[in-house]
C-alpha cells in the first residue's frame, strides 16, 4: 500500500455503532476495516468478542464505546463497562463524559470520572479516548479545562463527538456539527505532549480527513471508510 494511503488508513477508527446494526452488519463492516487496514473498529460493548473473532489475524485493533452515546452512566458503571470490554478483547476505549456535570462546571466529578476510567483501561493494557461532545460543550474555556483534566489524569486521546450528539434546531429538526477545525485546533493546543486528538462526527470525505489531519488529529472516526479510502487510492496510488 502507498505510504500516504497507509498513513490515512491508520488514522481511521471505523465506526460500527448505529443502534440498528445487526451481527451481519458487524461482520460486513469488520471486513471493510480489514480490507483497508484501518487503525481500528469502534463497536458497541456486546459486539467486542465478535469483532475480535472477525478481525483475528489482521492488523486492525478492536475498540469499544463506554457510556455511549449520552454519557449518563455512573462512574462505577463506566468503570465496570470499560473493564468488561477490555476483558472481552478491546484494546481501545472511547468513553463519553458526563455532559451535564461538565456544563455545570463540576470539574472534581469530571476529573474523578475520567481518571477512574483511564485507570482501569491502563490496568488492562488499553488506551482511552475521552469524548467531550462538543455540540453540547461549546464554550472554549470548558473545552480547554477538559483538555487539561485529560492531560493531568493520563488519558491518551481527547475526542470531539460521539456522532450522536444531536441538538434540537428552531424548526424542530435535530442536527450535529461534530468535529470542526477551530475546535480541533483548540484541543490540539490545549493538551499535553502525551495526549492526542481524535476527530469524530462529520468526517465523510477524503478532503475532510486530510483537513483534520492538518489540524493535528492522529485519529478520526468514520463510517464512510470505503469511499474515503477508494478516493485516497485513486488520488495517491495503491
Pick the CATH number of 3-236 from 3.20.20.70, 3.40.605.10, 3.40.50.620, 3.90.1010.10: 3.20.20.70
Q: Catalytic amino acids?
A: 94, 159, 198
| 160 touches 199 (CB < 8 A) | yes
- Cell numbers found for residue 34: 480489514
- Cell numbers found for residue 80: 465496570
pLDDT bucket at 135, cuts 50 / 70 / 90: very high
| 104 touches 98 (CB < 8 A) | no
Please state the pTM of the whole predicted model. Answer: 0.97
pLDDT bucket at 167, cuts 50 / 70 / 90: confident
Name the average pLDDT for the chain: 97
Confidence at residue 208, expressed as pLDDT on a 0 to 100 scale: 97
Q: pLDDT digit string (tens) for 11-22? A: 999 999 999 999
140: number of Cβ within 10 Å = 12
Confidence at residue 176, expressed as pLDDT on a 0 to 100 scale: 84
pLDDT bucket at 238, cuts 50 / 70 / 90: confident
State what percent of residues in the chain have pLDDT above 70: 100
Confidence at residue 88, expressed as pLDDT on a 0 to 100 scale: 98
Amino acid at each position: 500500500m502507498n505510504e500516504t494511503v497507509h498513513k490515512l488508513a491508520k488514522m481511521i477508527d471505523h465506526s460500527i455503532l448505529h443502534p440498528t446494526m445487526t451481527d451481519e452488519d458487524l461482520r460486513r463492516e469488520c471486513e471493510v476495516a480489514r480490507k483497508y487496514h484501518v487503525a481500528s473498529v469502534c463497536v458497541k460493548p456486546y459486539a467486542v468478542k465478535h469483532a475480535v473473532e472477525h478481525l483475528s489475524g489482521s492488523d486492525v485493533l478492536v475498540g469499544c464505546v463506554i457510556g455511549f452515546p449520552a454519557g449518563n452512566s455512573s462512574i462505577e458503571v463506566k468503570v465496570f463497562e470499560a473493564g468488561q470490554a477490555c476483558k472481552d478483547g478491546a484494546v481501545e476505549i472511547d468513553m463519553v463524559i458526563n455532559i451535564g456535570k461538565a456544563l455545570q462546571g463540576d470539574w472534581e466529578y469530571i476529573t474523578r470520572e475520567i481518571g477512574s476510567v483511564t485507570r482501569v483501561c491502563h490496568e488492562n493494557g488499553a488506551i482511552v479516548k475521552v469524548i467531550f461532545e462538543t455540540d453540547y460543550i461549546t464554550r472554549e474555556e470548558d473545552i480547554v479545562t477538559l483538555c487539561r483534566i485529560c492531560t493531568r489524569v493520563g488519558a491518551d486521546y481527547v475526542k470531539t463527538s460521539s456522532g450522536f450528539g444531536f441538538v434540537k434546531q428552531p424548526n424542530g429538526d435535530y442536527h450535529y456539527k461534530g468535529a470542526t477545525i477551530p475546535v480541533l485546533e483548540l484541543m490540539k493546543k490545549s493538551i499535553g505532549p502525551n495526549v492526542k486528538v481524535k476527530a469524530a462526527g462529520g468526517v465523510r470525505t477524503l478532503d475532510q480527513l486530510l483537513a483534520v489531519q492538518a489540524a493535528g488529529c492522529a485519529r478520526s472516526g468514520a463510517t464512510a471508510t470505503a469511499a474515503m479510502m477508494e478516493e485516497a487510492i485513486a488520488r495517491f496510488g495503491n
